[in-house]
Amino acid sequence: MPKRGQLLWASVVVFYVALYLSSRQSADALLFGIASGALVSAIALGVVLTHKGSGVVNFASGALAMYIAYVYADLRSSGRIFIPPLPNPLALVEGVAHKAGAHGLKLPHWPTEVSLGGGHWGFLPALLVALAVAVLIGLLLHVLVFRPLRGAPPLAKVVASVGLLVLTQGIVVDRFGTSPIALRAVLPKRGVTLPRSLIVPEDQLLSVAIVLALTLVLWAVYKFTQFGIASRANADNEKSVVLLGHAPNRLAAASWVLSTVLVGLMGILVSTVNTSVDPNTVVLLIVPALAAALIGGFSSFGVTVAAGIAISMGQGLIQRWSLDSWFPHLRGTPLPGIQQLVPVVVIVVVLFARGSALPSRATVSALRMPFAPKPGSARAISVKMAVVAAIGVVLLLTLHPDWRLGIASSAVWAVLAMSLIVVTGFVGQVSLAQMSFAGAAGFALSKVTLHQGLPFPLGPIVAILIATILGVAVSGVALRVRGVDLAIVTFALAVAAENIIFNNPSLAGNNFGANVPPPRLGPAHFGPNDSTGWSLFGYHGDGKIPNPWFGVFCIIVALLAAAVVLNFRRSHSGRLSLAVRSNERATASAGVSVTRVKIVAFSIGALLAGTGGVLSGYLNGSVTTDTFSSTASLTLLVYAYLGGIASVGGAFTTGIVSAGGLAAVATTSWFHLNNSYLILLGGVGVVITVVLNPEGIAGETRKNVKRLGRYLGRGRGASGEIGSRPASTPEPTAVPAPMHRSADAMRGEAEPSGTTA
């Protein structure tokens, strides 16, 4: 840390001490957040540990803490270990059999738990078994996910860890629901009297003490043992560590185990202090934890823990202040979620200060992305679109209402996915805030239609413009921050937007969200719940909701959006975007303003996200915080990556497999799977996809089709020109991510002799 940093630290400490001494109230406020500060610090330590060991910024660090806490809770209450529900291939057989009428057929399922004798378990045995599970999880994560991803592009690692977050959360929600589970306190809750006669519960102080003690142990291990020194060295110069005979894999595995156990332990302890655990709160502590880890430079344990505690204290302080009369109020209630701004501000300031407009020589070409296929000719595209539209309309007019809803949902998700395709797929900037743009448009739509009375085409246009302007504003950050760092910033912004804007009752209405009146243009009523009496060439529908014409509207909008994205990709702007994605320095050296390309991409991305948000508002008849939460942004990235992040075809795949989409309708109506199970499947799917096939489903399908085409071409013999001119029909993965070649081997290409690209 430079001198400036020390100055900043000193001023924070002085400020806190002064506050503590100034009044009893503010002293109380400072200690308000101290227990969660312990957990934030632990999660941040987990992030630092895994980053040291394997170079992964683990967004799921908080989710793992939550998961282990649930393992503990389940052990305490019923003496068993729950097993993640696994996809059962036999369920398919069973489903088909049931459809065919064989209702008696029962095939074996995966076990859902390991019973350890049942009954209520005591604290210590439950803790130890839960930590043993943590060890196992840490090992599995290393072996199954992050070891194969060594040398993979940073985006793949981000997506994998985000997928892990979605997966763990999905498992817990599927199993235990979203409401909190009560936990018995284990640490003494007696009040401890501090100077100025402040009374703080003992367990709060104890959890901080435990984190500090653990930090000290970690510090000593990393300072004095060969394992620790080698791990530190590994983060700095992996090549030399390997050349001295250390196995980097073992170091990485150890750090995954260590970090999982650490966050698990503190997750359990702090949950008992709070006497409850739920699948959301702890997961989102990753934002302040990431802020703390950033301050610690992803390396210093001490600084990280101090920052974690300081940030939490700041958050607690603001939470307390919001009860005061001077605190900014909106319509009688204090502005909610301002405390979320603390980590956001920290993250933005730290990253912006450290960032630069162009990456340095060493960091260039760190980001390798899935291939972005060039779309066919305008005519081919129009034909494809017409076919999709025709099929969609016919299905909408004939199918069961559930399927109509599925088609509409798929179209909405496809539009949302397209926003990520532009930002991430084409320009290579990882945004975890796309659903916030969608939400901004959704809530704006509700406002301008209900309060300003703007009619149909005008209301959504204004709403989408608002989202676009926000996109331009956020792109300002992306100009200096890239890669994983950008993912961190945008995620923090998404959390802030969720808490400050979408949770604001004056904006978002009550718990049921803000109403969105259905779209109506003159006599045409095509809201999903609008009267559905219609007749076309003497054909009448079933008269049920949703109105099929709403589905048609969604398909038209989705195809328009697809046309925009395809044209963007085909045009010179798309060419410049891919150039930026491929190499920012080289793009600048070609005379292109990288700044402009990024701003354009972010605004188009926000425009599309806004469009998706507006459609989603119409579809649900309302906009709610949940729909546009930060977790929703993560889920969107997961599904978009699953579908294929670099092509429009991928967006439609995303639409089909997303929550409420066609695949969901199919699985729920055929196999009676619930929604949380689908999210869980998405999490599993994306992790597997990233590990096996970084191009996503669409990329894989396209490759297979190409391979098939080439095979057929060869089969046709002399006429098969495809096979005979390999140079002109290059394999799309001609820029492979050499997954199993270690990163240092890449770095080793110091001698500019080869095809070092």
Partner 1 sequence: MAPLLSATAIGVRYGGVVALRNVSLKVEAGSIVGLIGPNGAGKTTLLDAITGFARCSGRIEMDGSVISDTVAHRRVHRGLSRTFQSLELFEDLTVRDNLLVSADPGRWWSIFVDVIRPGRRIAEDAVDEALGLLGLAECADSLPPTLSHGQRKLVGVARAMASRPRALLLDEPAAGLDSAESTLFGEELRRLVAARDVGVLLVDHDMGLVLNVCDYIYVLNFGQVIAEGTPASIRQDTDVVAAYLGEQAEGPDAGAIAAARRGDATGRQVVVTPALEPVAGHPASARRPGLNEGSRKPALVVQHLVTGYSGVPVVRDVSLSVSRGEVVALFGPNGAGKTTTLLTISGLVEPISGSIEIEGQECAGVAPHVLARRGLAHVPEDRGIVPSLSVRENLALVRKHNRRQVLGVVTSYFPALEGLLDRRASTLSGGEQQMLAIALALATSPKVLMVDEMSLGLAPVIVERLLPIMRAIANDTDTAVLLVEQHVHLALEMSDRTYVLSHGELVLEGQSADLSSNRELLESSYLGTRAL
Q: How far is the CB of 729 from partner 1 (least distance, A)?
A: 10
For the bound state, the minimum distance from the C-beta of residue 612 to partner 1, rounded and expressed in Å, comes to: 18
Task: Work out how close the CB of 8 gets to partner 1 at its nearest, in angstroms, rounded to a whole number.
Answer: 22
Name the residue nearer to partner 1 (CB basis): 113 or 749: 749
Q: How far is the CB of 590 from partner 1 (least distance, A)?
A: 4
Are 679 and 166 within 8 A, CB to CB? yes
Shorter beta-carbon distance to partner 1: residue 373 or 513: 373
Q: Which two tokens stand for residue 191?
A: 């009040």
Rg (CA), the chain: 27
Q: How far is the CB of 633 from partner 1 (least distance, A)?
A: 24
CB-nearer residue toward partner 1: 132 or 737: 737
Residue type, 547: N
Q: Determine the Cα–Cα distance for residues 398 and 392; give it in Å rounded to an integer.
A: 10
- Rounded least distance, CB 430 to partner 1, Å: 18
Residues whose CB falls within 8 Å of the CB of residue 374, separated by 6 or more in sequence, listed in order = 569, 570
SS (H, E, C) 143-211: HHHHCCCCCCCHHHHHHHHHHHHHHHHHHHHHHHCCCCEECCCCCCCCEEEECCCEEEEHHHHHHHHHH
Tell me the closest approach of the beta carbon of residue 342 to partner 1, in angstroms. Answer: 29
Cα separation of 60 and 263, whole Å? 11
| Residue 148 preceded by cis peptide, ω within 30 | no
Output 67 or 568, the one with its CB closest to partner 1. Answer: 568
For the CA atoms of 657, 658, 664, 667, the dihedral, rounded to the nearest 10 degrees, stands at: 50
In 3D, which of 327, 350, 330, 349 has the Cα closest to residue 339? 327
The nearer residue to partner 1, 23 or 571, going by C-beta atoms, is 571
Cβ proximity to partner 1: between 253 and 311 the closer is: 253
Strand partners, 622: 515
Report, in Å, the least distance between residue 683 CB and partner 1. Answer: 28
In the complex, the smallest distance separating the C-beta of residue 245 from partner 1, rounded to whole angstroms, is 4
Show the tokens assigned to 336. Answer: 């909610």
Q: DSSP letters of 665-727?
A: HHHHHHH---HHHHHHHHHHHHHHHHHH-TTHHHHHHHHHHHHHHHHHHHHTGGG-HHHH-TT
246 vs 320 by CB, closer to partner 1: 246
Residue 596 C-beta: closest distance to partner 1, Å? 6
Whichever of 186 and 235 has its CB closer to partner 1, that residue is: 235
Nearer to partner 1, 448 or 648 (CB): 648
Residue 232 beta carbon to partner 1: minimum distance, rounded to whole angstroms: 7
Task: Rank residues 26 and 299 by Cβ distance to partner 1 and give the closer one.
Answer: 299
Q: Six-digit token pair at 372? A: 């972005």
Minimum CB separation of residue 218 from partner 1 in Å reads 16
**Nearest distance from C-beta of residue 363 to partner 1, angstroms:** 12
C-alpha distances (whole Å) from 227 to each of 220, 242, 251, 483 are 11, 13, 7, 29
Do 263 and 43 contact (CB within 8 A), yes or no? Answer: yes
**How many CA atoms, within 13 angstroms, populate the side-chain half-sphere of residue 662?**
16
What does the DSSP assignment read for 242-274?
HHTT--HHHHHHHHHHHHHHHHHHHHHHHHHHH
Give whichever of 221 and 545 is closer to partner 1, judged by the CB atom.
221
Q: Which is nearer to partner 1, 33 or 248 (CB)?
A: 248
Considering beta carbons, is residue 195 or 754 the nearer one to partner 1? 754
Pick 36 or 583: Cβ nearer partner 1: 583
Does residue 190 contact residue 196 with C-beta atoms inside 8 Å?
Answer: no
Q: In the structure encoding, which two tokens stand for residue 584, read together?
A: 């920012």
Helix (H, G, I), strand (E, B) or coil at 515: strand
Sequential DSSP letters for 52-77: HHHS---TTHHHHHHHHHHHHHHHHH
Pair 711, 660: CB distance under 8 Å: no
For the CB of residue 434, give the shortest distance to partner 1 in the complex, in Å: 19
